Amino acid sequence: MSYFDNLRTFVRIFELGSMSAAARDQRISPAVASARLSQLESHLHVRLFQRTTRSLSATEQGRLFYAGACRVLDAVDEAEGSVGEVTANPRGDLLVAAPLWLGRTLLAGHMPAFREVYPLIRVRLRLSDRRLDMTAEGLDLAFHVGRPADSDLRIRKIAECRRLLCAAPAYIAARGAPETGDQLARGAHDCLNLRFPGATEFRWTLLGPDGPDTFEVSGPFECDDGDVLTDWALAGHGIVLKPVFEVADHLASGALIEVCKRTPPLPAQVSVLYRHRRHQDPKARLFMDFMIERLQADLAAAQDPR
């Protein structure tokens, strides 16, 4: 086994805290992951983890070695990327995450064109409306809709996108069309919430005459998949908060109608996030440059469905 394979497996075991999770991440069996770790420990003549049948924790030597192993692997990745850049044949794997709608509707459609230009770059695309831990998931890039929380991640802004509140005509006929956030917060309306650990979309911030104001909202349904929320809204089950590009077709057809026009939600920022230590990776930079140009055009076209 390659010494660098052993290092990469050790780093993922350290970051994920699990032998089986690291094995799944690297697409190897737990037995291979264990063998790589054992080889590394034999080479170093130290124990990097304390292991029992139920737990795994890094030793002091393991914590010290992790920092050095990351520096070595970063240097190797940068060197390989530089060779690829110089030869005009960049190669290697990129693990990219994106929200479901953005990934399915926009990003995935541009992947074949990227492959034609850079055939030796393998892109693994993960789609989820959950906010993923980039380090724990081993992500190189993550596309994001919303205001990124303060962190040590680097951010490249793609576009500012208008957001709105909307509901089906049947819902408005039965319940009326709210005009202000106060009407939503009093529970007079059913609000469809994007909810998962750490989510804040059950607090809607609307822009009123005196500036932004945040309201606690509630409703009969919640989900961690934004497409499900759209389906519920189309079926007349409540009001949904969406970037306009996600519901542009439904607004144009009249299947959804904008409400609270005078007090709209704050716009959403579409960005791509990446870890600081990856920002020199030519593969990641090429993918970002390629996709950002195309996403900006797509999002601009979808800003106003009327």
CATH number of domain containing 297? 3.40.190.10
Whether residues 131 and 186 fall in one domain:
no
Q: Indicate whether 287 belongs to any domain.
A: yes
Going by C-beta distance under 8 Å and a sequence separation of 6 or more, which residues neighbour residue 209? none
Whether residues 261 and 279 fall in one domain:
no
Q: Indicate whether 262 belongs to any domain.
A: yes
Helices (H), the chain: 3-16, 19-26, 30-44, 60-86, 100-101, 108-117, 134-137, 169-175, 181-185, 226-234, 244-253, 282-301
Whether residues 178 and 259 fall in one domain:
yes
Whether residues 149 and 190 fall in one domain:
no
Q: Indicate whether 134 belongs to any domain.
A: yes
Q: Indicate whether 209 belongs to any domain.
A: yes
Q: Indicate whether 306 belongs to any domain.
A: no
Whether residues 190 and 249 fall in one domain:
yes
- Among the candidates 65, 85, 105, a domain finishes at 85
Give the integer Cα–Cα distance in Å for 1 and 76: 17
The amino acid at residue 212 is P
Q: How many residues does the structure list for the chain? A: 306
Q: Indicate whether 243 belongs to any domain.
A: yes
Going by C-beta distance under 8 Å and a sequence separation of 6 or more, which residues neighbour residue 267? 160, 161, 162, 163
pLDDT in tens, the chain (306 residues): 588 888 889 988 888 888 888 888 788 888 888 899 999 989 999 999 988 777 788 898 988 899 888 888 877 776 665 665 545 577 888 999 999 888 988 899 999 999 999 999 999 999 988 777 777 777 889 998 877 665 667 888 898 888 999 999 999 999 999 988 888 887 789 999 887 655 555 788 898 888 888 888 888 888 888 889 999 999 999 999 998 888 989 999 999 999 999 999 988 889 998 876 544 567 888 999 999 999 998 888 776 555
- Among the candidates 32, 66, 85, a domain finishes at 85
- Among the candidates 61, 85, 109, a domain finishes at 85
